[in-house]
Structure 1
Amino acid sequence: MKIGYVYILKCSDNTYYTGFTSNLYNRIEEHIQGKYQESYTYKRRPLDLVFYCEFTDFQQAISYEKKIKKWSKLKKEALINGEFDNLRNLAKKK
């Protein structure tokens, strides 16, 4: 069974990058080494892996990645910190 990963990297400029991969270790190494100069993370290194979760359904993982990418920084930080009860409140408009 193949596993997919949704991950969040914290960049040196305190922004977050969210991605999806089927090989977490290799993909993180590519980000850290700066394999793709045109990527969002290239000029924002060093990077820290601050969150990841595993999926057995790739479509579900890709959907979750797209959803997280739309979240505010505060909501991403609640997810990273395991503050799941706060996620709902952070989604509401003020």
Structure 2
Amino acid sequence: MANNIEAYFYVLKCRDNTFYAGYTTNLEQRVQTHNAGKGAKYTRVKSRRPVSLIHSERFSSKSEAMKAEYAFKQLTRPQKEAYLKQNKCEI
């Protein structure tokens, strides 16, 4: 049952113009954690902060959000940009 909670797949744009993708159950808190330098190792690098949330999708389970994150991470940079533009994200 613990897996059936609302979860989000999200994409951040870092200050160095790279993307970071992840999943969480609390989107606002997670972005704050990244910006505080206490999030993922990738966003702890000072030159990548601050980060800004540019895309999120809500799922009914953590498993679904993790699958969306994995699929996004398999894309090339041009494919990621196309995905984000298709979803009307400002990149």
- In our comparison, the structure showing a higher alpha carbon Rg is 1
Structure 1 unaligned runs (5+)?
Answer: 85-94
Structure 2 unaligned runs (5+)?
Answer: none
> What CA RMSD, in Å, does the superposition of the two structures yield over aligned residues?
1.9
Could you tell me which residue of structure 1 aligns to residue 84 of structure 2?
A: 80
Report percent identity of matched pairs: 36
Could you tell me which residue of structure 2 aligns to residue 33 of structure 1?
A: 36
Could you tell me which residue of structure 2 aligns to residue 42 of structure 1?
A: 44
Separation in 2, partners of 1:81, 1:35? 29
Could you tell me which residue of structure 2 aligns to residue 90 of structure 1?
A: none
Query: What TM-score, normalized to structure 1?
Result: 0.78
How far 1:64 sits from its partner (Å)?
1.1
Could you tell me which residue of structure 1 aligns to residue 72 of structure 2?
A: 68
The secondary structure found in structure 2 opposite 1:7 is strand
How far 1:83 sits from its partner (Å)?
5.8
Query: What TM-score, normalized to structure 2?
Result: 0.80
Count, aligned residues: 83
* 1:12 maps to which of 15, 26, 31: 15
How far 1:72 sits from its partner (Å)?
1.0
Could you tell me which residue of structure 2 aligns to residue 89 of structure 1?
A: none
The secondary structure found in structure 1 opposite 2:82 is helix
